Structure 1
Amino acid sequence: MSESQDTLKSRLEELKCHFTWGLQEKDFEIKELEERLKIQLVYLNKNLKGRLYNLLAYINHLKNNYTEAIANLQKAEDILQESNVSETDMKYLLTFSNYAWVYYCLNNSERSKLFIDKINTIHTQSKELKDLVQSETYGEEGWALLKCCGQYLGKAKDCFEKALKGNPDDPEWNTEMATVVYRLEGFRGRECTDLKCLSFQLLERAVKLDPKNSVIKVLLALKLQELKKHEDAMKHIKGALELTPDLPYMLRYVAKFYRRAGKFEEAIKLLKKAVNITPTSGFLHYQLGLCYRQMLIHKKKTGRGNYRGPHMQEIRDLTEKAIFNFEMVLEVKRTCLHVHFDLADMYSRSDQHKKAEETYKKATELTTIPEYEQQQAHLHYGTFLEKWKKSENEAVEQYKEGLRIPEQNKHREECETSLRRIANHRVERNPRDASGLALLGFISKENQDKSNAMKWYEKALKSDPSNDEYLSVLFDLKLK
């Protein structure tokens, strides 16, 4: 690479755009994200479409489709031009930055430098608006992170905090900040008391600053519902439905509100309406699946002992509908771990144990989920193998895989508890049980307790002197 190319690359790395925000292909499923963004293009307002085209251009880059990337950037640029935005306005920074990177990837240095020059001109003419420029830049980054995947929620929150420092009363960044904190408070099963309190305050502020935003109204209603303020919550639900009665993104949250209130028929009616508009939405099918499953559980409770006739037919119908919708989610969003669990649970409830096992196995093979979820997948699969399949040895292998992942959390603890329970049970039955002794050694080894690990493996070898696995582990432990 020539010196001028080195200089160009370093100038590009200073730009604030999708190419420098750490959006990594391994963290999300490209096809699902692209499909979701294209659906949103139909319903988002014109100004937001420019952002979507920019993110789509970056996805095109990940697919090495630079012709389409340029086409999407041109669409983003057209939206600004149609709105009579001057080419030296800061709103062009994102599009011009992405242009510069795309042309660099195409080895067109001249075009890349041209856009860098345009960016420099914008910065020069916006010196007095430095805070607003930073607010815009951080807001754009947060928005992109929020759209890509749940793993980026923490980073998105940091970006919106910075955006609001430069422009505290911006309605959009307040709305996005409230949204990301609301999603973070229960993300991946976490219970964050501090965030719950904060999200309510942020949602209230966002609604005041942007009263015509129907989605943020519904999120506030969901929060009020959690706080048992049902009358206030319903006011916001009605207000949102009056504002945008046909917006799928809003309808799905209203349906969630009704489902939580036990109004399953109302929820299903809204979800079906939204599905007719956006048939490939994984979120909508997931909400439908949850509705049918909750109705099923309710029917079984109220019809206890009634195993014949119309009641049982209704239970079968609800089961099939729940399974169908959970399957639909995984067709469009294969990396949703909790949907794998929900689908496997429904298979188990309907005695389709082979399908349940296949679903749990697929969950353990997901490559784009974080270690926290990998541990959870091994734990759930192990529990299924132990309780439903009655295969303790297979379950042990899954619990061991969960324990091998070093991240400390409740799922790792539960894997260890299950292994220790099985090991102790084996040793209680037979103090010389080599597999039980070795399992205790494995637990100590994975917890970095070398001394105890060596002790247990030595005992296991006394009971099973020809076991190469125990010998190899013990040799490694002594070597360390």
Structure 2
Amino acid sequence: MARPTVLHLTKKIFGFHSENTDQRWIKERLEKLRCQFTWTLLIEDNEIHDLESRIFEEIEFLDIKYNVGMHNLLAYVRYLEGQNEESLESLKRAEKLIQQKHADQSDLRSLVTWGNYAWVYYHMGKLAEAQTYLNKVKNTCKKFSDTSGYTIECPEIDCEEGWALLKCGGQNYERAKVCFEKALEVDPKNPESCAGYAITLYRLEGMSLLETGLSLQPLKQALRLNPENAYIKALFALKLQELGQEAEGEKYIKEALASTSFQNYVLRYAGKFYRKQGSLDKALEFLQMALRAMPDSALLHHQIGLCYRQKVFQMKDGTNRKPRGQDRDYDKKIKSAIYHLEFAVKQKPTFDIAYIHLASMYIEAGDYRKTEETFQKALEINPQDELKKQKLHFHYAKFQELQMKNEVCAITYYLKAIKIGKGPALKDKSISALEKLALRKSQRNASNEESLSLHEFVCKLRGETKKEPENYEKVIRLVTDFENSEK
């Protein structure tokens, strides 16, 4: 996405500096600032709209102290969209909040906002205004530290950087964790930093980048320091449920629901809790309540879609895999699931796991063309989460095997799922499916003596021979050779 261009204005400093020299001088100092413009926030172009919606939701519905940071982040997002005047309006709101909530340390708390002001004015070509805010930053840094530069180390800025990274998606979570850890080294019992750290660990666990359960104690500590924070209480409940302590988790969910703060976010997580419990009607009740307040939430539409998807599979299992089209309620639930899942991926085009869930509903509807298109979109995203990637490859392989009858493609993607090796259950399922396919294929056309048979490869994967499995790329090439030999 093209960034807003700099407007070239003529301005002289000390009498005879050229415009380009002046811009370079200011740019060098801007790059030393600590703010959203210098934190290298990784945001895909097609995620910007969804990010802006989520920031608005947080500002409106989360009664939190770090809303200053959300206004700063919104200013940056608006700049990315080419809305410089609107960006300045967001920075004015951040300034107002600083005076209301942090009047006793307004200069220190304003450093990030002033840095953003300087950047926006620079991109608008208003170099005098940019210089004014650079001076504000420099004078404040000098006031609070020995430095004479434009940067200061302090836990407040580390914390705000952590929240900005956390809000911008999974590719930023590892760096968010480092920021919160850095802030906690200086102030280990800071409620804001503890909350950010716990939430970051919770999300990293959800991406399978941390061992399950590592966020439990940090969530408990964050709740101890933020006892009225129903948002953290709801996350703590979900983590307890995940660790097999559902009764204890439900107690916290009920406490969170009884709170008057964070209500729409609590409703979302309550819906997720009861969906995982299997209480689908109860889950839908909470999720629909939240949706009325946040109708554009991709996450809410995804959760609602999952509830209907679960109802579809319950009905299917209850009627011994009843063929589609023989029950109006069954078809209606498929359509409801598709509607909400389609909305989720339209609102958030990088919503990888939602594409997998949507594809499964297209299969139930018998629309294999849309199933293929949906899987292809998910494959293009190439999820960062290895478990999601493994799940994507496994389900695409099943679709190719069962619906499309394309054995070569199925084997290729089973191999890709096995190669990831993260989720033992999916890996074992992939090996079993590959074994059955390999047996059928070898019965029709035995492999060349110089090639490694798929059956032997599976035996090696299972540890039934002392030989190590060959590299996966070689086996995938072998599969393709099999296919070519059969044509």
TM-score (normalizing by structure 1) = 0.79
Letter in 1 for 2:76: Y
Specify whether residues 343 and 308 from structure 1 end up closer, same or farther in structure 2 by C-alpha distance, changes over 3 A only.
closer
Trace 1:166-185 onto structure 2 (pairs within 5 A). 166-185=186-205
Cα pair 1:221 1:232 within 8 Å, conserved: yes
Specify whether residues 428 and 231 from structure 1 end up closer, same or farther in structure 2 by C-alpha distance, changes over 3 A only.
closer
Report the more deviating stretch, 321-330 or 220-229.
Answer: 220-229
Alignment match, 1:77:
95
Trace 1:7-156 onto structure 2 (pairs within 5 A). 7-26=25-44, 29-45=47-63, 47-83=65-101, 85=103, 89-127=107-145, 134-156=154-176
The Cα of 1:284 is off from its aligned counterpart by 1.1
Measured in 2, the distance between the counterparts of 1:386 and 1:419 equals: 10
Measured in 1, the distance between the counterparts of 2:61 and 2:252 equals: 21
Measured in 1, the distance between the counterparts of 2:72 and 2:199 equals: 21
Q: Does 1:165 align with 2:181?
A: no
Higher relative contact order structure (alpha carbons within 8 Å, sequence separation ≥ 6):
2
The Cα of 1:4 is off from its aligned counterpart by 4.7
CA RMSD after TM alignment: 4.2
SS where residue 25 of structure 1 aligns?
A: coil
The Cα of 1:163 is off from its aligned counterpart by 1.0
Alignment match, 1:254:
270
Measured in 2, the distance between the counterparts of 1:271 and 1:416 equals: 34
Measured in 2, the distance between the counterparts of 1:371 and 1:175 equals: 23
Measured in 1, the distance between the counterparts of 2:133 and 2:76 equals: 16
Alignment match, 1:232:
248
Measured in 1, the distance between the counterparts of 2:454 and 2:125 equals: 56
The Cα of 1:429 is off from its aligned counterpart by 4.1
Alignment match, 2:406:
391
Letter in 2 for 1:136: E
Cα pair 2:114 2:134 within 8 Å, conserved: yes
Measured in 2, the distance between the counterparts of 1:225 and 1:78 equals: 40
Alignment match, 2:281:
265
Alignment match, 1:472:
none
Measured in 1, the distance between the counterparts of 2:373 and 2:302 equals: 20
Specify whether residues 191 and 127 from structure 1 end up closer, same or farther in structure 2 by C-alpha distance, changes over 3 A only.
closer
Alignment match, 1:218:
234
- Specify which of 336, 353, 361 is matched with residue 321 of structure 1: 336
Measured in 2, the distance between the counterparts of 1:102 and 1:171 equals: 31
Q: Specify every segment of 5 or more residues in structure 2 that has no aligned partner in the other structure, as ranges.
A: 1-18, 147-151, 456-469
Specify whether residues 229 and 67 from structure 1 end up closer, same or farther in structure 2 by C-alpha distance, changes over 3 A only.
same
The Cα of 1:314 is off from its aligned counterpart by 3.0
Letter in 1 for 2:290: A
Alignment match, 1:365:
380
Cα pair 2:43 2:168 within 8 Å, conserved: no
Cα pair 1:88 1:118 within 8 Å, conserved: no
Specify whether residues 353 and 107 from structure 1 end up closer, same or farther in structure 2 by C-alpha distance, changes over 3 A only.
same
Measured in 2, the distance between the counterparts of 1:36 and 1:322 equals: 22
SS where residue 99 of structure 2 aligns?
A: helix
Alignment match, 1:289:
305
Write out per-residue CA displacement over residues 185-229 of structure 1, whole angstroms, 9 at most, x where no aligned residue. Answer: 121xx2743x51x31111111111100000101111122223333
Report the more deviating stretch, 422-431 or 18-27.
Answer: 422-431
Cα pair 1:427 1:433 within 8 Å, conserved: no
Specify whether residues 227 and 254 from structure 1 end up closer, same or farther in structure 2 by C-alpha distance, changes over 3 A only.
same
Measured in 2, the distance between the counterparts of 1:14 and 1:237 equals: 44
Q: How high is the sequence identity, in percent, across the aligned residues?
A: 35
Q: Specify every segment of 5 or more residues in structure 1 that has no aligned partner in the other structure, as ranges.
A: 441-448, 465-480
User: How many residues of Structure 1 are paired with residues of Structure 2 in the alignment?
Assistant: 445
Cα pair 1:88 1:125 within 8 Å, conserved: no
Trace 1:340-379 onto structure 2 (pairs within 5 A). 340-366=355-381, 369-370=383-384, 377=392
Measured in 2, the distance between the counterparts of 1:383 and 1:393 equals: 12
The structure carrying a bigger helix percent of its residues is 1
TM-score (normalizing by structure 2) = 0.78
SS where residue 244 of structure 2 aligns?
A: coil
Write out per-residue CA displacement over residues 113-159 of structure 1, whole angstroms, 9 at most, x where no aligned residue. Answer: 2112111222222239xxx9621111111100111111211111111
Specify whether residues 398 and 305 from structure 1 end up closer, same or farther in structure 2 by C-alpha distance, changes over 3 A only.
closer
SS where residue 66 of structure 2 aligns?
A: helix
Write out per-residue CA displacement over residues 319-364 of structure 1, whole angstroms, 9 at most, x where no aligned residue. Answer: 2222222112112112111111111111112322222122112222
SS where residue 18 of structure 1 aligns?
A: coil
Measured in 2, the distance between the counterparts of 1:308 and 1:388 equals: 14
Measured in 1, the distance between the counterparts of 2:48 and 2:324 equals: 47
Cα pair 2:30 2:118 within 8 Å, conserved: yes
SS where residue 20 of structure 1 aligns?
A: coil
Cα pair 1:28 1:148 within 8 Å, conserved: no
Measured in 1, the distance between the counterparts of 2:453 and 2:316 equals: 44
